[in-house]
Amino acid sequence: MKSILMTGATGGVGTFLRKEFANRYRLRLSDMRPLTTLGASESFMAGDCASLDDMLRVTEGVDGIIHLGGYSVEGPWETILQSNIIGAYNLYEAARRNGVKRVIFATSNHAMGFYKRTARIDHTPYPRPDGRYGLSKMFGEGVASLYADKYDVSSLCIRIGNAAMQPIDVRRLSIWISPRDLAQLIGIGLEHPDIRFAIVYGASDNARGWWDNTNAQCLGYRPVDRSEDFAAEVLRAHPATTGDAIADAHQGGAFCTAEMVENPAK
């Protein structure tokens, strides 16, 4: 079994990925918050992405990294700077120094949030971040590209839509990804021999989706879950619009107008 570091392991995404990968990898879990209950193939090392010394310590001796760590919604500049911008640099620099050759970088749909919902985009258009959080993910994608080209640290950057057990509102019918579909995509990122640097969207088979995910399909991604299975329930419970014209027109939703977003509304 490969040894895989997962940063941000105490968060919601980390929690369900632990279940998906429990019998596939030896997981070294890391976060600023402690984990007291560990599985047979899991270990824990505390670490702060904003500390290069911490990242050097937690990345030593692993075969790959799933980087979920950082601040996951729109927030204050100093928080975003330390957690997501300095944190992304520290993670990649530590990987380089410790000889780790494969990183899964959890980027976000918010790097592209100011594209209109009427647009269908793939991985190639220029980024249009919808806030400081989206900007930080744009930076992280740039770091991943640099370290692939200059230092041979390969990366799959997954622009995650909304990772949850099911979509909970109309916008998420377009961007949702199930735990097992995300685990499939991350597994491809860790195992595919030909990845050097690639950007894909983290989305299930969503009939209302805004993204052309051909790049993921070319790597072998075949989502098994569909947001449309939940559509009737969602549409009964939620209006089609929120009353915020800018948010309703753009893929980033409320992030396009909010200065702060309550965690974990992605």
147 classed as catalytic: no
Q: Where are the domains of the chain?
A: 3-256
Per-residue pLDDT tens over the stretch 97-122: 999 999 999 999 999 999 999 999 99
Q: List pLDDT tens digits, range 121-175.
A: 999 999 999 999 999 999 999 999 999 999 999 999 999 999 999 999 999 999 9
Of the listed 25, 92, 115, 133, which one is catalytic? 133
For the entire predicted model, the pTM comes to 0.97
Q: Is 31 helix (H, G, I), strand (E, B) or coil?
A: strand
Contact residues for 1 (Cβ-Cβ < 8 A; gap 6+): 24, 25, 26, 41
Which residue is listed with tokens 């975003």?
A: 80
How is domain 3-256 classified at the architecture level of CATH?
A: 3-Layer(aba) Sandwich (3.40)
pLDDT band at residue 247 under the 50/70/90 scheme: very high
- Sign of CA pseudo-dihedral 161, 162, 164, 166: negative
Q: What is the DSSP string of 73-120?
A: SS--HHHHIIIIIIHHHHHHHHHHHTT--EEEEEEEGGGGTTSBTT--
Residue 30 has pLDDT above 50, yes or no: yes
pLDDT for 224 beyond 50: yes
Q: Parallel, antiparallel, or unpaired: how do β-strands 176-177 and 162-163 relate?
A: parallel
* pLDDT computed for residue 263 by the predictor: 64
Mean pLDDT across 59-83:
97
